[in-house]
Chains A and B, each alone.
Chain A
């Protein structure tokens, strides 16, 4: 046995047949699988638009939005059919990422319309001159109530709204014979020690909303003490909403151990038990209101198309579909809520709010203080 000779990986000097086969196979694979080569049969319309296909005679409208955006195939098809534009959606990151993306590219935007800048970020976007002026000619009843104070609908059009609220596992409290908490104060009560889980303000937009709720409730100088108490009482901080809800919440489907979680006022509509009632409940005194806006981007290539899309977002068709698609309430009063929502997810009537300008001015300070309080 000789160990000296290294194996020669090529038994033959050169194998033309094999190489030809391999090259052919690779070529076929490339041609049929690649994004470039295989664009033909299943393309979403963008290539068709470029080649002047009849149903997108008006060209492309590019919608820039966040990763949770979802309009559904049917609505997109309807929009394209009604307007003749082809809709291209660029969706990535959360509300903060989206806002920063827009701010960085102000004047030379990566699309025509933005959807998903919310009331906590809107001031910054306006300050950076991201949006062009546009107010839809027909605004359904109720929309005006959600206009951003100071902008009043001149640039930003409200599209949907939702409230971030503390949620409870009702069954758990019944089983334990423990009275249910109902206020933010209750969460620092030792009786509810180690029961609450919330996503962090720095990494999650509902987490940020919860921080703003506490600031609205306890004031600019009081919220820090509240958070200290909250953490001392065993509140658990996690990365994102999905972490809190699915992993730590007792009704999340996993083996979670915490019956109090930060979620939305619509969440109870998704936890209908076998008896037809919801196993969770939103604490309506703990809510912070979020409104998402759409707007035509300054410097948009297809301004006409952009306006058409903003108009479309306020149609009854879209507004009625929002709850099921994006778990948010419509801003329009003219559409009905889905049945499960109407029954199980009553809206918070008087959620906490903060002036967007105040949020913009203090966001950095608040987040830094919060980070210093919570990170080690």
Chain B
């Protein structure tokens, strides 16, 4: 594989700690201006991969940028920027001086520097915070400053290590949107590692899934989402259950029944004996082809979440619209939302 002319290429990259490989033989490409999220559970080697790209870990294999190998180029000469989970702002410097830090390194001074700092603070929505010390900021504000600092010198590649994980749920959602917008607006190429699939979906246009040091799947976010490489990946991507054999067949049949009526296709249906279903894949619908008995129901503002004993399949999650109130013991009919199931290549049935 020849490296990309524009962007990041990883060719058979392996990183070891004391002889134990943390990243095994990973090959990956990230074209210019794309945002790639590396998704994986903790310990999957994703942060190590990021550190290797940054030049903070010695790696075997080739890491190259714009077709040129980065071997022998120290971290500070790579022209990248790195943003950590908790920002790692310099506690002894004000917000403005934190953001101005990389500018100063590149000899950008005076009014050029101060107007750039202002611009960056505006970009991340922190006008007027210039003279604050990091210790006085909230977690979200700190991450915004860290982002502004990382973007200050228009890095060739922005490396984000769990940039939003330390924040609470609401803030995380909001910042994820902001982050996606800011990256698009500035046209920044970015590599983000995260264990949170929602964060990945919100920010990235490409997705790579890592497990136990291996890269198990990589592609457009929507593709990866729709076609998980294997059952374990499916579960990690947020699918609630992976069904096999007769149960899978029954779900696929029901889905096909629905699509015929709706006029859409169920991809890969015939060949796949394995299917992953999300929690909201089964919808209470009097026109549905599946039947089952409600085991429990939980009301949320948007919908009612159910556990249903589906005949021929077993216990599955399902949802009902807020205007319906099926209770435990009620018999219901269910249809399949085809956008919420994914066929899984069958060779790789998880044994865990």
A contact set with B: CB distance below 8 Å: 1-2, 4
Q: Is the CB of B22 within 8 A of A4?
A: no
Listed A/B pairs (10) with beta-carbon separation below 8 Å: A1-B17, A1-B22, A1-B47, A1-B48, A1-B51, A1-B57, A2-B42, A2-B47, A4-B85, A4-B86
Question: In the complex, which residues 16-61 of chain B have their Cβ closer than 8 Å to any Cβ of chain A?
Answer: 17, 22, 42, 47-48, 51, 57
Separation of A1 and B18 alpha carbons in the complex (Å): 12
| Distance between B41 CB and nearest chain A CB, rounded to angstroms | 13
Inter-chain CA distance A2–B162, complex, in Å, is 11
Nearest opposing residue in chain A for B42, CB measure: A2
Bound-state Cα–Cα, A177 to B338, Å: 116
Of chain B, the residue at the smallest CB distance from A2 is B47
CB distance from A2 to the nearest CB of B (A): 7
Min CB distance A124 to B, Å, is 58
Closest Cβ of chain B to A107, distance in Å, is 59
Closest A residue to B162 using CB positions: A4
Question: Closest approach, in angstroms, between the C-beta of A3 and any C-beta of chain B?
Answer: 9
Contacts of A4 in B (CB 8 A): 85-86
| A-B residue pair count with CB separations less than 8 angstroms | 10
* Distance between B108 CB and nearest chain A CB, rounded to angstroms: 30
Q: Which residues of A contact B22 (CB under 8 A)?
A: 1
**Shortest beta-carbon distance from A5 to chain B in Å:** 11
Question: Which residues from chain B contact A2 at a C-beta distance below 8 Å?
Answer: 42, 47
| Contacts of B40-94 to chain A: CB distance below 8 A | 42, 47-48, 51, 57, 85-86
Tell me, rounded to whole Å, the shortest Cβ–Cβ distance linking B13 to chain A: 15
Measured in the bound complex, the distance between the Cα atoms of B85 and A2 in whole Å is 11
**Residue of B with least CB distance to A1:** B48
Q: In the complex, A343→B47 CA distance in Å?
A: 87
Q: A2 to B47: give the CA distance in the assembly, Å.
A: 8
Q: Which residue of B lies closest to A4 (CB)?
A: B85
What residues of A have a CB within 8 angstroms of the CB of B85 in the complex? 4
Residue in chain A with minimal CB distance to B84: A4
Measured CB to CB, the closest approach of chain B to A280, in angstroms, equals 64
Q: Which of B208-231 contact A (CB under 8 A)?
A: none
Q: Please give the distance in Å from B49's CB to the nearest CB on chain A.
A: 11
Q: Whole-angstrom distance from the CB of A211 to the nearest CB of chain B?
A: 56
Bound CA–CA A1/B17 (angstroms): 8
Chain A residue at minimal CB-CB distance from B51: A1
Please report the C-alpha to C-alpha distance between residue A4 and residue B87 in the assembled complex, in whole angstroms: 12
Contacts of B42 in A (CB 8 A): 2
Q: Which 7 A-B pairs have the closest CB atoms?
A: A1-B48, A1-B17, A1-B22, A4-B85, A2-B47, A1-B47, A4-B86
Bound complex: CA A156 to CA B57 (Å): 81
Closest to B43 in A: A2
Query: Min CB distance, A26 to chain B, in Å?
Result: 37
| Assembly CA distance A312 to B131 (angstroms) | 82
- CA separation between A6 and B51, bound complex, in Å? 19
* Chain A min CB distance to B166 (Å): 9
By a CB distance below 8 angstroms, the chain A residues around B86 are 4
Q: Which of B42, B47, B57: most chain A CB closer than 10 A?
A: B47
Give min CB distance, A78 to chain B, whole Å: 71
User: How far is A285 from B47 in the complex, measured between Cα atoms in Å?
Assistant: 86
Cα–Cα distance between A2 and B46 once the two chains are bound (Å) = 10
Which residue on chain A has the smallest CB distance to residue B48?
A: A1
CB closest chain-A residue, reference B57? A1
Cα A74 to Cα B85 in complex, Å, equals 76
A196 to chain B, nearest CB (A): 57
The CA of A2 and the CA of B57, in the complex, are separated in Å by: 12
Q: A305 CB to closest chain B CB, in angstroms?
A: 67
Measured between beta carbons, the chain A residues less than 8 angstroms from B17 are: 1
Could you tell me the distance between the alpha carbons of A2 and B195 in the complex, rounded to whole angstroms? 13
Query: Hey, which chain B residues are within 8 Å of A1, CB to CB?
Result: 17, 22, 47-48, 51, 57
Cβ of B47: which chain A residues have Cβ within 8 Å of it? 1-2
Distance in Å: Cβ of A168 to nearest Cβ of chain B: 65
CA distance A365 to B51 in the complex (A): 73
For the complex formed, measure the closest distance between the CB of B89 and the CB atoms of chain A, giving whole angstroms.
15
A2 to B42 CA separation, bound complex (whole angstroms): 9
B75 to chain A, nearest CB (A): 15
User: A residues within 8 A CB of B57?
Assistant: 1
Q: What 1/0 mask marks residues of chain B from 336 to 349 whose CB sits below 8 Å from any chain A CB?
A: 00000000000000
Expressed in whole angstroms, the minimum distance between the Cβ of B139 and any Cβ of chain A is: 14
Nearest to B166 among chain A residues (CB) is A4
A179 to chain B, nearest CB (A): 71
Minimal beta-carbon separation of B117 from chain A (angstroms): 28
**Proximity bits, B162-195, A CB within 8 Å = 1, else 0:** 0000000000000000000000000000000000
A193 vs chain B, min Cβ distance (A): 59
How many whole Å from A351's CB to the nearest CB in chain B? 69
User: How far is it, in angstroms, between the C-alpha of A50 and the C-alpha of B40 when the chains are bound?
Assistant: 77
B59 to chain A, nearest CB (A): 13
Measured between alpha carbons, how far is A2 from B84 in the docked complex, in Å? 11
A4 to B85, CA, bound (A): 9
**Alpha-carbon distance between A4 and B86 when the two chains are bound, in angstroms:** 9
- Additional A-B contacts beyond A1-B22, A1-B51 (8; CB < 8 A): A1-B17, A1-B47, A1-B48, A1-B57, A2-B42, A2-B47, A4-B85, A4-B86
Instruction: Give the shortest distance, in Å, between B163 (CB) and chain A (any CB).
Output: 13
B76-123 with Cβ < 8 A to chain A: 85-86
For B267-296 the 0/1 string (1 means CB < 8 A from A) is 000000000000000000000000000000
In angstroms, Cα B23 to Cα A1, docked, is 10
Q: A228 → chain B, closest Cβ, in Å? A: 56
A4 to B47, CA, bound (A): 12
Distance in angstroms from A17 CB to nearest chain B CB is: 32
